[in-house]
Structure 1
Amino acid sequence: MKNIVVLTGAGISAESGINTFRDSGGLWEGHDVMEVASPEGWRKNPQLVLDFYNMRRKDALKAEPNDAHKALVKLSTYFHVEIITQNVDDLHERAGSENILHLHGKLFESRSTLNPRHIYPIEGWELNLGDKCPRGSQLRPNIVWFGEAVPMMEPAAALAAKADIFIVIGTSLQVYPAASLIDYVGADTEVIVIDPNLPAVKKHPLLTLIAEKASTGALRIVDELIEKYK
């Protein structure tokens, strides 16, 4: 059975109505991304950061998985599929996918500011000042902010290295270290990149570029892979 690893980015969630920093010019209600998604922004104005993620949760709860998410579920009935996502929403899970590695954290989790290993689910959409872990520290979103280490990068790189087929959907390949995952795939690995604005990708002997949005591109490539390898 082919081992397929899929890297997904903001473009796949955008089709479900979830706004992206890429589409908004890096702003949120006039605030620079660093004000709402960085350790410095948290120290400066934790209320603003909490408000930002509360609104993202509220929007995510109204969103539904789209055809691209569903196509990956279909793919997993024929192949062993591992999804590495840069997105923090839970749309892959809600579509029915398994084996999902969240590179940048999870929107519906909080973590202790005292010990980042203490992680707690968020019920509903609100996380507020005064919400504390059992040891009394303020809870923050369990999100990897700009300027922070990406703890899941090493296991993600290991997945990319063992892929028979590596598919990139809806990412600009401009956010590092996630963008470097494509460098871990082998020379004999098929690489397929799907995005309406195709990113610059290094030459690869088995590279296919598909200039389509996530949903139509994913549906097409999934059917083609099933037909080719079933």
Structure 2
Amino acid sequence: MTNTPAIPTSVLTLASEAQRVTVLTGAGMSAESGVPTFRDAQTGLWARYDATALATPEAWERDPALVWSWYMWRHHLVRQTEPNAGHKALGGWETTASVTVVTQNIDDLHERGGSSRVHHLHGSLFAFRCSRCSRPYTQPVDDTPPHDTPRKPPACDECAGPVRPGVVWFGEMLPNSPWEASVRAVQDCDLLLVVGTSSLVYPAAGLPRIAQDRGIPIVEVNTEETPLSTQCTACLRIPAASALPRLADMHVT
């Protein structure tokens, strides 16, 4: 059995003393629950499609049924997964500190893990809106198999326009409210954890710079080195599902 690397005492101390923790998460966090990353999702019946070509406004305009079917497949995949120990640790940490999650992930695993303050920078697979009038769509959606036949998206209750996934596609701006809330969460924290993100996708990758400029400790939790690594207070080459419970457990009342 491989022993899990120890977490330095200095990092455990940061976790135990932090009163306001902000956690920036990326695809690696969800991958530990078995959620395929964006490009890894192009397997099986969807292998013949380019993921970046499906996740665009142009693809939606060209073939909304095809795009809707792809997202219903991903919606179905996420519903079959469960929050891992890292998600649950962040949810439990709220009992002893103010913990805010800023995520690039479009799944709902943080919420299901118990986190109540989650800002989705790239939208959510579980939030839908009309592509014509932008009215939120709250009716149940059908994500049941089979997914290899394009299915028509539901119609908006208000204007009958086609309902689209509430995610940010390539070429679209980030939603203002989650972005502004995320900036405030980083500005106001006394510990920033950056978990499972490549630190390559902007503007999310620029958030740690805000913490750095303010002298806020940054701890990276990632099994691989990233462009952010050299700027961090500490780097834990430990999976999130292992590292986060140990950090959360350090904070006791």
Aligned residues: 225
Cα deviation, residue 140, structure 1: 0.6
* Equivalent position of 1:104 in the other structure: 122
Of 96, 101, 104, the match for 1:86: 104
1:72-124 CA distance string (max 9 Å, x none): 012211110111111111111111110111111111121111123x1123525
- The answer to whether the aligner puts 1:8 opposite 2:32 as a matched pair is no
State whether structure 2 residue 51 is matched by structure 1 residue 33.
yes
Please give the per-residue CA displacement for 1:143-168, whole angstroms capped at 9, x wherever unaligned.
11111000122221121111111111
Looking at secondary structure, tell me which structure has more strand per residue.
1
Q: Are 1:136 and 2:191 matched, yes or no?
A: no
For residues 180 and 25 of structure 1, the distance between their equivalents in structure 2, rounded to whole angstroms, comes to 28
Per the alignment, do residues 24 and 60 of structure 1 end up closer, same or farther by CA in structure 2, a change over 3 Å counting?
closer
Q: In the alignment, is the contact (CA less than 8 A) between 1:108 and 1:121 conserved in 2?
A: no
Q: What is the CA-CA distance between 1:52 and the residue it aligns to?
A: 1.0
d(CA) in 1 for partners of 2:82, 2:139: 19
CA distance in 2, matches of 1:149, 1:138: 20
The offset of 1:223, in angstroms, is: 3.0
TM-fit CA distance, 1:61: 1.1
- Equivalent residue, structure 2, for 1:216: 242
Return the match for 1:18 from 35, 53, 58.
35
Q: Which runs of 5+ in 1 are unaligned?
A: none
Q: Could you tell me how far 1:191 is from its partner in structure 2?
A: 0.7
Task: Work out which of the two has the higher radius of gyration on C-alpha atoms and give 1 or 2.
Answer: 2
**Secondary structure of the residue that 1:219 maps to in structure 2?**
helix
Of 191, 196, 216, the residue aligned with 1:165 is 191
| Equivalent position of 1:150 in the other structure | 174
The one-letter amino acid of 2:111's match is E
- Specify the alignment match of 1:58 in structure 2: 76
**Contact 2:39–2:51 at 8 Å: present in 1 too?**
no
Gaps of 5+ in 2: 1-17, 145-150
Q: Could you tell me how far apart the structure 1 residues matched to 2:43 and 2:219 are?
A: 27
Q: Find the aligned partners of 1:31 and 1:98 in 2 and give their Cα distance.
A: 35
* RMSD over equivalenced CA pairs, Å: 2.3
Q: 1:218: Cα distance to partner?
A: 1.5
* Letter matched to residue 154 of structure 1: E
Cα gap change, 1:142 to 1:24, in 2 (>3 Å): closer
Cα deviations across residues 13-41 of structure 1 (Å, max 9, x unaligned)?
A: 11111100254689952311222211122
Asked if the contact 2:187/2:214 (under 8 Å) is kept, the reply is no
Structure 1's 26 and 162: CA in aligned 2 closer, same or farther, altered over 3 A?
A: farther
1:184 maps to 2:210: yes
Bigger relative CO (Cα 8 Å, ≥ 6 apart): 2
Aligned equivalents of 2:184 and 2:43: distance in 1? 30
Normalised to the residue count of structure 1, the TM-score between the two structures is 0.89
> Which AA in structure 2 matches 1:166?
L
SS in 1 for 2:79: helix
How far did residue 210 of structure 1 move? 0.8
